[in-house]
Amino acid sequence: MIVNCAFASDGGSIWLALNDNGQGAAFKLNRSIGSRGTSNFEAITDDSGAAVEGAGLVALLATLTRQRVAMSDDDRCRRAVDEFISVLRQKSDSPPKSPTIV
């Protein structure tokens, strides 16, 4: 279940704390003004600051989608969850980025 959420004053970053089957975790969706136009914009990190990628993104999408179904329309974290789900779906639909060679 979604335990808590927050919208940062950095331009739109979102933080979610959840508990899934007794396991607590927190995630940040980076939407800061300073990250716009960089590869860090809309990056998702866990509570240790590590990037969530690959199978981790798929698992997080599945968890949030499952938990979203149980949320009421007036749940204060609904918008945060919907934003995470939207970004996760976009990331899962796009091919992996190739490293840039300079």
**Residue 102 — very low, low, confident or very high, per pLDDT cuts 50/70/90?**
very low
Q: Which residues contact 68 (CB under 8 A, 6 or more apart)?
A: 78, 81, 82, 85
The pLDDT, as a whole number, for residue 32 is: 95
CA distances, 99 to each of 34, 61, 102 (Å): 22, 24, 10
Give the residue-averaged pLDDT of 48-77: 93
Q: How many CB atoms lie within 10 A of CB 80?
A: 20
The pLDDT, as a whole number, for residue 20 is: 78
- Whats the size of the chain, residue-wise? 102
Handedness of CA 69, 55, 19, 32 (dihedral sign): negative
Give the residue-averaged pLDDT of 41-63: 94
pLDDT tens digits along 18-28? 987 888 999 99
Give the residue-averaged pLDDT of 28-56: 94
User: What's the whole-model pTM score?
Assistant: 0.84
Q: How many CB atoms lie within 10 A of CB 84?
A: 24
CA 32/CA 38 separation, integer angstroms: 11
Residue 17 pLDDT > 90: yes
The pLDDT, as a whole number, for residue 22 is: 85
CA 102/CA 70 separation, integer angstroms: 47
